[in-house]
Amino acid sequence: MFDRAPMFDDMAADGRPVTQSWELLEVEALGVDVSGMTLLDIPALQISSGGPTVIMGPNGAGKSLLLRLLHGLAVPTRGCIRMHEQPLSPRLCRRQAMLFQSPVILRRSVRSNIEYALAAHGVSRRARAGEATKLLDMAGLGGRARQSGRSLSGGEQQKLALLRALATRPEILLLDEPTSNLDPASILAIENLLLNAARAGTKLILVTHDLGQAKRLGDEVIFLHKGRVTEQTPIEIFAKSPNSAEGAAYLSGLLLV
Amino acid sequence: MIDIAESFRTAVHLISSGDSEFWAIVFLSLQVSLSAVAIACLIGMPVGASLAVSRFRGRRAVIVAVNALMGLPPVVVGLAVYLMLSNSGPFGVLQLLYTPSAMIIAQLILVTPIIAALTRQTVETLNEEYADQLRSLGVSRLRSVPTLLWDGRFALATTVLAGFGRAIAEVGAVMIVGGNINHVTRVMTTTIALETSKGNLALALALGIVLILLAFVVNGAVAMLDTTSRQVAHV
């Protein structure tokens, strides 16, 4: 059985309960080269256990690649990633979850999608049903539990994928533009679930192009450009006056190439 | 022309009259082919799915080999099984030659590569969609096999039916290892071949009609499965 992070009923009513933070993820001399091209080159980066971290940058900057590396879905050409000061391993990756831009819904019912994740994390058959019901009711999908997951709308599918990720009670939740194709109502629903998860102690690492979303959800911004981190700044500072020329150009709407 | 019309009338009568000898041939055919397909699924599906998700040196060559085995000539398979099961062969002691079991073995060898190759294709396509998500959930490649087989069940049903189509229509291999013995190993295809050569067109036609009807039933089942899977949105 893996270490499970607190669930929603453990959370504070408002504000993040995190009173102290520590280095959760550390990146050292990380690089990815493909066909002689350097896609990512990060000499050093620390992500703390505190509030949500937002990764921003233009297309092709390496945001999604960094997220995949942090989750163990991609292998770096060089360098290393540590979680809790230990090299990233499949065992540590099981304490993370990832939400993809396009949700991958298993060809089974809404309830079974969540129960599958619980089973994969060693939750007993008896406990699975209760946890799935609790999560679905919380997200307003309780009435659709027996429906096929793939018959849900795009927003509902992303909500289901998020619930499935949260069902494993991850310590870190990595999100790759999770609301990029959704309408405002769906975005609001997803963001509320994310804020609840963050309050419950789950570390969010979110890739987004939406500064408004970054301000609503994030505590700090990591700005990437051409595979390099140009700044790691608190969101309030980044939104007003980015430290890097690339960040400033991005916010001012200049086309970064 | 009159002979053909008469034969056709007699064939229809044979089918509708419930002739026990006629239906015994049909049932033996179904028994042999369904048994072969069931065993082929038990072997071919896990093999095909494992091939789809695994990565090892020489994988491409194995896939090419499995695909090539789909086109195995039935008479060659029949000959090989005959040599294995004959008294002088390594499995002669089992005394399986000229029994339905020998026919099941021959059809099994013909159908398993079809099931394995088509399963590999189906599961590989599904795995392209699922791989990252399953790995994110901590599911290993090996443990993803049952998931992929279950989630690909509607597409895989078509694979099973394709295997059944190959088995039920096969004649060369079962003729060699079964011997076409009346009341023992006589199936639809071997009976059609024999009765046509004897000039007994009515029986051959009747069995031919049943075979064609079976082909329609199989294709109808594929179409219904496709519709059902779309209706429940599991595609």
Tell me the C-alpha to C-alpha distance, in Å, between residue A127 and each of A108, A114, A133, B29, B143.
19, 12, 10, 48, 21
3-state secondary structure of B180: coil
Regions of chain A where pLDDT drops below 70: 1-21, 255-257
The string of pLDDT tens digits covering residues B98-113 is 999 999 999 999 999 9
How would you classify the pairing of strands A78-83 and A96-99? unpaired
Shortest CA gap A48–chain B (Å): 21
Shortest CA gap B7–chain A (Å): 50
Residue with tokens 């020489």: B58
Is B124 a residue whose pLDDT tops 60? yes
Contact B79, B176 (CB under 8 A): yes
Contact A148, A108 (CB under 8 A): yes
The length of chain A is 257
Judging contacts by C-beta atoms under 8 Å, the chain A residues touching residue B130 are 104, 106
B222: confidence class by pLDDT, cuts 50, 70, 90: confident
- Mean pLDDT, to the nearest integer, of B146-172? 93
Judging contacts by C-beta atoms under 8 Å, the chain A residues touching residue B144 are none
Of B71 and B235, the structure prediction assigns the larger pLDDT to B71
Distance CA B13, CA A206 (A): 73
Query: What is the predicted pLDDT for the residue at B3?
Result: 77
Contact B44, B116 (CB under 8 A): yes
- Cβ-nearest to B234 among A100, A117, A150: A150
Of B222 and A18, the structure prediction assigns the larger pLDDT to B222
Is this model's pTM higher than 0.90 or not?
A: no
Judging contacts by C-beta atoms under 8 Å, the chain A residues touching residue B139 are 120
Judging contacts by C-beta atoms under 8 Å, the chain A residues touching residue B228 are none
Query: What is the predicted pLDDT for the residue at A12?
Result: 41
Q: What is the percentage of chain B residues whose pLDDT exceeds 90?
A: 79
Contact A172, A202 (CB under 8 A): yes
Query: What is the predicted pLDDT for the residue at B234?
Result: 60
ipTM score here? 0.86
Structure tokens at A196: 């609840």
A107 touches chain B (CB under 8 A): yes
DSSP character for B139? -
DSSP character for A109? B
- Cβ-nearest to B137 among A72, A117, A151: A117
Backbone angles phi, psi at A249, to 5 degrees: -65, -40
Contact A24, A49 (CB under 8 A): yes
3-state secondary structure of B128: helix
Contact A40, A17 (CB under 8 A): no
Is B2 a residue whose pLDDT tops 60? no
Query: What is the predicted pLDDT for the residue at A18?
Result: 45
Contact B208, B24 (CB under 8 A): no
Contact A41, A62 (CB under 8 A): no
Query: What is the predicted pLDDT for the residue at A146?
Result: 93
Is B85 a residue whose pLDDT tops 60? yes
B233: confidence class by pLDDT, cuts 50, 70, 90: low
Query: What is the predicted pLDDT for the residue at A1?
Result: 37
Structure tokens at B225: 């499965």
Residue whose C-alpha is closest to residue B228's, from A112, A148, A113, A156: A148
